[in-house]
Amino acid sequence: MPRPATTRFVVYGLLFTLGTLFATPFVWLVLTALKPVEQTTKFPPVFIPRAYHAELDGRSVEVTKDYILTQDAVIVEAAGMRHVVSLAHFDDAASTARLSPDAPPLHARLLKRVQAGDWRVTERAEGFGRAGSLAWDIVPESAIDAHVKPRWENFALAIATIGGRSVEEVQGTVSTVHSHGADSDVTFWDFLTNTLLVCVLGTVGAVLSNALIAYGFARLKWPGRDILFAITLGTMMVPFPVLMVPLYGVFKELGWIGTLLPLWVPAWFGSAFNIFLMRQFFRTIPEDLSEAARIDGCSEWQIFWKVILPLSKPVLAVVALFHFLHAWNDFMGPLLYLTKRSTFTLAVALQNYQTQNGGTPWHFLMAASTIVIVPVILLFFFTQKTFIRGIATTGMKG
């Protein structure tokens, strides 16, 4: 049935508008991650990360554009320092300048005349370690060479600093401060390893245990099965806050607080939703297959392992995928049970990074956030079909 052109126009118009709206936060995330810090706090914002170069003291160096001059002025040397003084406060004939309206005139040597519209520029340095010794000048716009430059090094610096060190320490502009305590050697790679351990061990456990349990519910008849299954479904209603406090007690008794164990071991003991999901799938496999295997002398275990599991790859993939995603994204669990930096997962490390060393600047925070988000996006693109099928058939996410 052909649609009128206007309807098509409206549909595509809406799709593109909404698509842009949904994509914008991602674009802003990556653009911010690629900017030098001073370009993150400009209003109106700088959209595309840029680099500026200018000649300072005879050398071409990278500079930051600090501010634009609103009136003609001079640069003078007075009291051993260089100053910018407006023309009204500079007496050319007497070679004196007042550094502030009420200050007495000082002897000043004229270095350079500058105009309204010129830029004050400062030699650029990451971090604050060298702030005092940076070269600066005032130059016309035309003397500044601007070009687009994404700062990929922000990602390296975010990775280097998320473990607890400051940019200055990483770049060696200050000597290492020994203020981080026993955990000072923790790095991004520890967080990544912890996260992957929790994800992989938990996923393997979730797939194996839930398949095993669901088989017991779906393919075997035994007294008490239906009651136990009803209880199982009932537990899905229990919100996590109810379990949170006593679970903490359980893990404390087991001596698991401060380790990764509470984050992946429970996955090896099944979860109501995954049992339900797998049971529904197993029930669609014809009983004849099991009967035939039984006649051939297979044990239930062999039927499970050799007949049912190979036929159940789609549902196994869905459970694996959603568990992995859930474990990667989980924040509350790690926040509750991980007490030492060395055991942090990426999610808590990222949260911790926010307030680290008196507040992490936005470009590094966005770079670190990108690093945590990108694996999820890659996972989606490589397993898109499983994802969509999983949500559509289960109506749930991990």
Partner 1 sequence: MAQSRRQLRAGLGFTALWVVGLGVFTAYPVLASVYYSFCDYSVLTSPLWIGTENYQRLWQDDLFWRALRNTLYFAVFSVPLGAIASLSLALLLNQEVRGRPVFRALFYLPSIVPAVASSMLWLWIFNGQYGLLNFVLTPILSLIGLQPPIWLADPNWAKPALVMMSLWGVGNSMIIYLAGLQDVPKELYESADIDGAGPWRKFWHITLPCISPVIYFNVLMGTIGALQVFTQAFIMSGGTDDGSPARSTLFYALYLFGQAFYQLRMGYASAMAWILFVMIVTLTWLATKLSAKHVHYNR
Interface with partner 1 in residues 359-388 (CB under 8 A): 362, 365-366, 369, 372-373, 376-377, 380-381, 384, 387-388
According to CB under 8 A, which one of 300, 305, 311, 357 is a site residue for partner 1?
300
- Cα separation, 367 vs 161, in Å, equals 11
Report the nearest approach of partner 1 to the CB of residue 230 (Å).
12
106 vs 335, beta carbon nearer partner 1:
335
Report the nearest approach of partner 1 to the CB of residue 61 (Å).
26
According to CB under 8 A, which one of 90, 281, 304, 324 is a site residue for partner 1?
304
Could you say which residues in the range 155-214 bind partner 1, by CB under 8 A? 209, 212-213
- Cα separation, 274 vs 359, in Å, equals 40
47 contacts: CB under 8 Å, gap ≥ 6:
31
CA quadruple 251, 256, 261, 267: dihedral, nearest 10: -10
Could you say which residues in the range 227-256 bind partner 1, by CB under 8 A? 228, 231-232, 235, 237-250, 252
119-123 sheet: strands from edge to edge? 136-139, 119-123, 59-68, 50-56, 145-148
Two tokens, residue 135: 């070269």
- Cα separation, 336 vs 340, in Å, equals 11
According to CB under 8 A, which one of 167, 319, 350, 383 is a site residue for partner 1?
350
Give yes or no for a contact between 109 and 92, defined as CB atoms under 8 angstroms apart: no
Report the nearest approach of partner 1 to the CB of residue 198 (Å).
13
Q: Report, in angstroms and rounded to the nearest whole number, the Rg of the chain calculated over CA atoms.
A: 32
Task: Candidates 76-84, 145-153, 222-230, 310-318: pick the segment binding partner 1 (CB under 8 A).
Answer: 222-230
Number of chain positions touching partner 1 (CB under 8 A): 96
Binding to partner 1 by CB under 8 A, coded x per residue (else -) over 16-45, reads --xx--xxxxx-xx--x-------xxxxxx
Task: Candidates 87-95, 114-122, 124-132, 271-279: pick the segment binding partner 1 (CB under 8 A).
Answer: 271-279
Could you say which residues in the range 273-292 bind partner 1, by CB under 8 A? 275
Task: Candidates 61-69, 98-106, 110-118, 344-352: pick the segment binding partner 1 (CB under 8 A).
Answer: 344-352
Task: Candidates 93-101, 150-158, 163-171, 325-333: pick the segment binding partner 1 (CB under 8 A).
Answer: 325-333
Please tell me whether residue 259 binds partner 1 under the rule CB under 8 A. no
Provide the 10 A C-beta neighbour count for residue 127.
18
35 contacts: CB under 8 Å, gap ≥ 6:
46, 49, 151, 154, 363
Task: Candidates 96-104, 113-121, 174-182, 327-335: pick the segment binding partner 1 (CB under 8 A).
Answer: 327-335
Please tell me whether residue 314 binds partner 1 under the rule CB under 8 A. no
209: left (phi over 0), alpha (psi -120 to 50) or beta: alpha
103 vs 332, beta carbon nearer partner 1:
332
Helix (H, G, I), strand (E, B) or coil at 70: coil
389 contacts: CB under 8 Å, gap ≥ 6:
314, 318
- Cα separation, 263 vs 120, in Å, equals 53
Tally the residues of the chain: 398
Report the nearest approach of partner 1 to the CB of residue 380 (Å).
6
Report the nearest approach of partner 1 to the CB of residue 98 (Å).
33
